[in-house]
């Protein structure tokens, strides 16, 4: 396992035009950790990932990865720093095959040198991708596309994987498969930040989580503690 880098957000304020979506959000992901960001629709989870991946400039606050100020780095340079973002809509190339999509993920010169080794690793994580390697990505099921998008992100050899709602729009059985995959990826030591509305599932695969409500961190803690917290159970887990 590589030494890794800590992702650190401090007091982030961000929004769209007159609308403010995040109010002073602070968050930390240590190397090798899996961290969840959960919360209801519109809480600002996607906005938070967009800030981390350089797609949205915050109005205030600091954002560091391995001590480096990410606000000074253009979005296109982030993958080279080891930050891989799997957006909610997946953004696969529908008219390319599974394997061609993986190739696109290995965009840099350094990644191209590791292409076969990483591809084989991705196929070992998702044997179904290997069976479907010549299939056009756009013709695969939602769950297969999600796995392909995660596989593509792994092809760049990232230090941290940012996952935006990987379970969105998937049937319950497929959701389980996607989370099983996330679990395997983190067991291999990759740092993961995962944004999810499916609180029950995500708390089973992460070490810690932050609960975001209307753009603020309403709670944070170890996954097991949050899962046992009466207020969290009432709001998010259908408990009492
Ligand atoms: P969801 O789970 O529904 O994706 P979320 O927690 O990811 O929700 P965001 O997508 O970050 O929430 O949205 C936070 C708030 O910012 C919402 O009120 C949303 O309407 C608003 N918002 C998001 N994108 C834009 C945009 N491009 N322009 C204006 N407002 C936006």
pLDDT tens readout for residues 154-175: 998 999 999 999 988 888 888 8
Per-residue confidence (pLDDT) for residue 9, from 0 to 100: 98
Verify whether ligand 1 is closer than 6 Å to residue 1 (CB atom).
no
- pLDDT above 90 for 207: yes
- In this structure, the residue with its CA closest to atom 20 of ligand 1 is 42
Mean per-residue pLDDT for 61-79? 92
Verify whether ligand 1 is closer than 6 Å to residue 47 (CB atom).
yes
Q: In the predicted model, what is the mean pLDDT of the chain? A: 91
Mean per-residue pLDDT for 144-150? 91
Per-residue confidence (pLDDT) for residue 84, from 0 to 100: 92
Dist. CA 31–CA 191, nearest whole Å:
6
- pLDDT above 50 for 182: yes
- pLDDT above 90 for 106: no
Mean per-residue pLDDT for 108-126? 86
Residue 122 CA to ligand 1 center (angstroms) comes to 31
Under the banding of pLDDT at 50, 70 and 90, the label for residue 240 is low
- Neighbour tally for 19: CB within 10 Å: 7
Verify whether ligand 1 is closer than 6 Å to residue 146 (CB atom).
no
Pocket test for ligand 1, best of 18, 19, 41 (most atoms within 8 A of CB): 19
What's the predicted TM-score (pTM) here?
0.92
- Compare 235 and 57 and report the one with higher pLDDT: 57
| Residue 193: partners with Cβ closer than 8 Å, 6 or more residues away | 7, 29, 34, 35, 36, 37, 49, 52, 160, 161, 162, 163
Under the banding of pLDDT at 50, 70 and 90, the label for residue 227 is very high
Residue 46 CA to ligand 1 center (angstroms) comes to 7
Taking alpha carbons only, the member of 229, 223, 240, 189 closest to residue 36 is: 223
The DSSP secondary-structure symbol of 75 reads G
Record the tokens describing residue 138, joined without a space.
Answer: 């756009």
- In this structure, the residue with its CA closest to atom 25 of ligand 1 is 16
Percent of the chain with pLDDT over 90: 67
- pLDDT above 60 for 7: yes
- pLDDT above 90 for 80: no
- pLDDT above 60 for 63: yes
- Compare 3 and 225 and report the one with higher pLDDT: 225
Residue 81, CA distances (Å) to 50, 66, 122, 159, 194 in order = 16, 9, 21, 8, 19
In ligand 1, the atom with minimum distance to the C-alpha of 48 is 11
Pocket test for ligand 1, best of 25, 42, 163, 218 (most atoms within 8 A of CB): 42
Dist. CA 204–CA 224, nearest whole Å:
8
Under 8 Å between Cβ of 137 and 96: yes
Phi, psi of 223 (to 5 degrees): -55, -45
Taking alpha carbons only, the member of 31, 41, 43, 44 closest to residue 4 is: 31
Verify whether ligand 1 is closer than 6 Å to residue 197 (CB atom).
yes
Dist. CA 15–CA 35, nearest whole Å:
23
Verify whether ligand 1 is closer than 6 Å to residue 14 (CB atom).
no
Per-residue confidence (pLDDT) for residue 6, from 0 to 100: 96
Dist. CA 49–CA 101, nearest whole Å:
22
Three-state DSSP state, 224: helix
Per-residue confidence (pLDDT) for residue 148, from 0 to 100: 92
Pocket test for ligand 1, best of 21, 41, 212 (most atoms within 8 A of CB): 21
Under 8 Å between Cβ of 206 and 34: yes
- pLDDT above 50 for 1: no
Q: What is the pLDDT of residues 211-225, one digit of tens each?
A: 999 999 999 999 999
| Residue 194: partners with Cβ closer than 8 Å, 6 or more residues away | 34, 35, 36, 37, 162, 163, 166, 182, 202, 205, 206
Per-residue confidence (pLDDT) for residue 196, from 0 to 100: 92
- In this structure, the residue with its CA closest to atom 31 of ligand 1 is 16
Residue 197 CA to ligand 1 center (angstroms) comes to 13
């Amino acid at each position: 396992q590589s030494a890794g880098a800590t992702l650190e957000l401090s007091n982030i304020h961000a929004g769209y035009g007159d609308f403010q979506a995040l109010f002073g959000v602070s968050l930390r992901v240590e190397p090798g950790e899996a961290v969840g960001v959960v919360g209801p629709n519109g809480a600002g989870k996607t906005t938070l990932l967009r800030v981390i991946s350089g797609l949205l400039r915050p109005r205030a606050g600091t954002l560091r990865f391995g001590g480096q100020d990410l606000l000074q780095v253009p979005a296109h340079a982030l993958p080279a720093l080891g930050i891989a973002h799997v957006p909610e809509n997946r953004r696969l190339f529908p008219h390319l095959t599974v394997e061609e999509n993986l190739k696109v993920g290995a965009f840099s010169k350094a990644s191209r040198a590791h292409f076969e080794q990483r591809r084989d690793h991705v196929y070992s994580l998702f044997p179904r991708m290997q069976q479907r390697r010549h299939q056009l990505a756009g013709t695969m099921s939602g769950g297969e596309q999600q796995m392909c998008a995660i596989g593509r992100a792994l092809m760049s050899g990232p230090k941290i994987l940012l996952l935006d709602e990987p379970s969105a729009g998937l049937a319950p059985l497929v959701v389980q498969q996607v989370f099983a995959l996330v679990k395997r990826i983190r067991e291999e030591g990759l740092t993961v930040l995962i944004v999810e509305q499916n609180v029950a599932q995500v708390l089973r695969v992460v070490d810690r989580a932050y609960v975001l409500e209307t753009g603020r961190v309403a709670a944070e803690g170890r996954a097991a503690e949050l899962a046992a917290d009466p207020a969290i159970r009432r709001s998010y887990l259908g408990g009492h």
